[in-house]
Copies of this chain bind each other. A is one copy, B any other.
């Protein structure tokens, strides 16, 4: 394809993306794809073509075969998982970045890639109220993009293990322990699997809203010390995936003071974006993050209006990362790196090559401004509050945990009447209910289990979601709940 053919195909791509977003706004298609597993294989040839094909044919096939197989994360009725960030500003920034296809591992691999990342992540740190210790401009701490929050946590764990074993070279791998809670994202267990280390999931309780308490941490630390174990990092969560729980960093702060070897990584992958609003900083323990977090991660590609991927990791001390990850062979040496005058980000993460993501975030931060970010957070939290009102005024549903920011966890649990449903039956009823919801393609919600209770998550966050979509979703939930309840009663009666 020559440059003029690209211009034509590029305009068309822009037009088709515009069409796609008009269709989304008008909910012209359901959020969930209608396709069945294996749908695509019979539609495509079994091998790459021998001779190149015309871009128009390829672009048309994309519309015909690929688009129908999407789950539309930008759909206004997407309430599953957590939202996937998107904005036109981000898309344009990504387009410009992709157009130079730069692996950006060294400063010299493209000076502006590295320098824009240091600047734009300082903007973000400031916007969230992170202390200057975390700024790249501090020369000591700093931030860079990782691929995902899971990898950010993995990197933090590797750095903490390296710091620990440097200080205690006699510590055996078998003694090292990662602390998470029973509500921590799978990233904790997965990191332990990857590193061949042990993980201890600290107990959290329903009455504490699934938040880690200081007393639990202290008791476990003391117990593990007795056993000869060496806990070297705590993965604390601000906004768990299941229920949006926030570990009690105020209490944790008091404990970690007595255990200076225990590093603290704060995973705020989703909820961290709310730090842009002063009114949510206490809930998210901003002060404590600034006091005790060795590392902190929040994803712009979730609630932060930025296309996947944009997952920065901040550290208080960049040598925490480079001590664990810097190895420089001769073919990667550069005059600027040798002189120590530049950051070579490849030593801050797992891989060598890295995507060029800063221009995308720069476009988003400038296009929205701090005010635009705040507006987006406040709007989605208000939509969740609207959903909570619906749930509270309904006789069918009950919240399983207090709503957290833009997330609610609920289940079908009719208000006690003459015909009360025994606690042990509620799970099967809700599984039946959730099965009915997943069969409806026009809304998407995901399931979870809290303290043994099967329940359903409602996470708002697509910028296109409005009150009408929340109301419509609740209407569908009510309808399906009623039918599930009837079906369930019939099953019970027939037994």
Interface mask (A86-102 → B, CB under 8 Å = 1, otherwise 0): 11111110111011111
Among the 9-residue stretches A150-158, A278-286, A380-388, A478-486, the one with 4 or more Cβ atoms under 8 Å from chain B is A150-158
Q: Across the interface, do B68 and A112 meet the contact criterion of CB distance under 8 Å? A: yes
Q: Across the interface, do B39 and A115 meet the contact criterion of CB distance under 8 Å? A: yes
Instruction: Place the interface of chain A in its size category.
Output: 35 or more
Which residues in window 247-297 of A have CB below 8 A to B? none
Q: Nearest Cβ in chain B — how far from A186, in angstroms?
A: 5
CA A242 to CA B101, docked complex, whole Å: 22
Closest B residue to A365 by beta carbon equals B48
Q: Across the interface, do B92 and A13 meet the contact criterion of CB distance under 8 Å? A: yes
Q: Across the interface, do B350 and A55 meet the contact criterion of CB distance under 8 Å? A: no
Q: Kindly state whether residue A18 has any CB partner on chain B within 8 Å.
A: yes
Known: A6-B18, A69-B113, A190-B350. 6 other contacts (CB 8 A): A50-B371, A55-B367, A71-B102, A193-B324, A242-B331, A335-B438
Q: Kindly state whether residue A29 has any CB partner on chain B within 8 Å.
A: no
Among the 9-residue stretches A118-126, A211-219, A466-474, the one with 4 or more Cβ atoms under 8 Å from chain B is A118-126
Residues of B within 8 A of A55 (CB): 88-89, 92, 363, 367
Q: Give 19 A-B contacts (CB < 8 Å), ordered by A residue.
A: A1-B87, A1-B89, A6-B92, A10-B14, A13-B92, A48-B127, A48-B366, A50-B369, A51-B369, A66-B112, A69-B110, A69-B111, A70-B102, A102-B308, A194-B195, A194-B350, A195-B195, A242-B329, A242-B331
Q: Across the interface, do B40 and A119 meet the contact criterion of CB distance under 8 Å? A: yes
Q: Across the interface, do A51 and B353 meet the contact criterion of CB distance under 8 Å? A: no
Residues of B within 8 A of A196 (CB): 161, 165, 173, 195-196
Q: Kindly state whether residue A49 has any CB partner on chain B within 8 Å.
A: yes
